[in-house]
């Protein structure tokens, strides 16, 4: 049966009140896109359910319960029934399906839609002009009165460890969907700090090579590539400041006061990351300019050496050129020691010119 057929079947079964196995590959309503579907009551994970519809019914049955549905890169067809089940706004659904969104927080009635950019450091033995340093993805979070729907894009940023950590702290999870949103934001920003530390190591390595005594092996392409990766990191982290500030301070945001304080802590961590990224960008500009200046100085030194040696070689060239004209009446042509005298003049003149350039620092 096709994926669309599965979705239609789920809708029919839901209307009839029948249960659909989430774990059965042939009957899963969203196929491999479903990462997990869990119901929590007072911060404690409940057994089952075996379908999204059953999870919603259980969450609504408990006064202090909610359902957390996790998805990975769903298509429009795969997300259609979820959007209808939870009453998600079409504009938010469109953003959740299509990746490459800016970090933002938007309210659609009592549903809060948040977009967070995930960043991970790509390990590499040596930085080159084509090395990928950071890889970005996205996590979209729908938080409603009794539900959380997370949609993840990208090969990294798995929320499995985060879910397990939250389940070990039921008092925090008892605050409901807002606690999950805070945990996701905190997880994303903590990863920013990890990536920033790794990027700093690469910048220090490039900086050390540029300012080493022999910096001719420094490749400006590496600096450009690192700067491009830092800019990608910057585009992911810096725009998140305004959404976090809203969640931390705006009373109109559907976030309780007890969770709002936690968002202020996340905003402080993000501020530290953005300061680091800004300093990275400025430092790479300085390193690149210093490298170009050093290359220019090295080229000037090479040109001075070439000019000095050309002047030294011009002395014997001139003397030999004069005597190579073969005129009949030239001085010392008939003298027995004329050849030795000419060679001596050339050597002494070259020595004096070389000494002059050496004293002036050209050689």
pLDDT confidence of residue 30: 40
**Lookup result for tokens 């319960």:** 65
pLDDT confidence of residue 214: 65
- In whole angstroms, give the CA distance from residue 84 to residue 68: 16
pLDDT confidence of residue 118: 93
| Contact call for residues 121 and 134 (beta carbons, < 8 A) | yes
Task: Record the tokens describing residue 224, joined without a space.
Answer: 């450009």
- In whole angstroms, give the CA distance from residue 350 to residue 355: 8
pLDDT confidence of residue 31: 43
pLDDT confidence of residue 10: 38
pLDDT confidence of residue 232: 92
Task: Record the tokens describing residue 28, joined without a space.
Answer: 């899963």
SS (H, E, C) 296-315: HHHHHHHHHHHHHHHHHHHH
DSSP-assigned beta bridge partners for residue 357: none
pLDDT confidence of residue 94: 92
pLDDT confidence of residue 318: 83
User: Of 361, 357, 105, 63, nearest to 247 (Cα)?
Assistant: 105
pLDDT confidence of residue 2: 36
Residues 6+ apart with CB under 8 A from 339: none
| pTM score | 0.73
pLDDT confidence of residue 109: 87
- Candidates 1.20.140, 2.160.20, 1.10.287, 1.20.58; CATH matching 300-359: 1.20.58
Write the CA distances from 60 to 41, 73, 144, 146, 345, integer angstroms: 10, 27, 12, 7, 107
pLDDT tens for the chain, residues 1 to 363:
333 333 333 334 343 343 433 333 333 344 457 778 889 988 898 887 667 888 888 888 888 889 999 999 888 888 888 898 888 999 999 999 988 889 999 999 889 999 999 999 998 888 887 888 899 999 999 998 889 999 999 888 788 889 899 899 998 888 889 999 999 999 999 999 999 999 999 888 888 888 776 655 567 778 888 889 999 999 999 999 998 988 888 766 677 778 888 899 999 999 999 999 999 989 888 888 887 777 777 777 778 888 888 888 888 888 788 777 777 667 767 777 777 878 888 888 888 888 888 888 777
Helices and strands in the chain, H and E counts: 11, 7
pLDDT confidence of residue 129: 79
Task: Record the tokens describing residue 261, joined without a space.
Answer: 């304080």
N- to C-terminal Cα separation, the chain: 82
| Contact call for residues 78 and 3 (beta carbons, < 8 A) | yes
Write the CA distances from 230 to 112, 234, 267, 269, integer angstroms: 30, 6, 20, 18
């Amino acid at each position: 049966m096709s994926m669309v057929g599965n979705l239609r079947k789920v809708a029919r079964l839901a209307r009839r009140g029948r249960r659909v196995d989430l774990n059965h590959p042939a009957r899963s309503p969203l196929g491999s896109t479903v990462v997990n579907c869990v119901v929590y009551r007072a911060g404690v994970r409940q057994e089952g359910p075996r379908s999204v519809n059953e999870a919603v019914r259980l969450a609504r049955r408990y006064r202090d319960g909610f359902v957390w549905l996790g998805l990975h890169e769903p298509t429009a067809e795969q997300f259609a029934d979820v959007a209808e089940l939870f009453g998600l706004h079409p504009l938010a659904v469109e953003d959740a399906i299509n990746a490459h969104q800016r970090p933002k927080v938007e309210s659609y009635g009592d549903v809060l839609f948040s977009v967070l950019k995930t960043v991970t450091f790509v390990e590499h033995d040596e930085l080159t002009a084509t090395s990928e340093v950071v890889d970005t993805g996205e996590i979209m979070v729908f938080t409603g009165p009794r539900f959380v729907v997370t949609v993840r894009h990208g090969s990294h940023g798995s929320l499995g460890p985060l879910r397990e950590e939250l389940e070990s702290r039921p008092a925090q999870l008892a605050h409901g969907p807002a606690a999950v949103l805070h945990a996701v934001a905190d997880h994303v920003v903590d990863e920013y700090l990890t990536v920033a530390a790794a990027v700093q190591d690469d910048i220090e390595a490039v900086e050390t090579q540029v300012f080493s005594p022999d910096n001719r092996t420094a490749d400006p392409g590496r600096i450009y590539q690192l700067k491009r990766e830092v800019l990608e990191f910057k585009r992911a982290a810096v725009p998140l400041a305004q959404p976090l500030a809203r969640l931390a301070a705006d009373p109109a945001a559907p976030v309780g006061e007890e969770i709002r304080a936690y968002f202020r802590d996340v905003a402080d961590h993000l501020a530290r990351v953005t300061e680091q990224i800004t300093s990275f960008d400025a430092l790479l500009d300085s390193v690149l300019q210093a490298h170009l200046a050093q290359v220019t100085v090295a080229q000037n030194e090479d040109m001075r050496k070439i000019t000095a040696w050309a002047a030294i070689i011009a002395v014997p060239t001139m003397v030999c050129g004069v005597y190579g004209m073969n005129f009949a009446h030239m001085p010392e042509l008939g003298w027995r020691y004329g050849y030795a005298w000419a060679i001596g003049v050339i050597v002494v003149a070259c020595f004096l010119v070389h000494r002059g350039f050496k004293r002036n620092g050209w050689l």
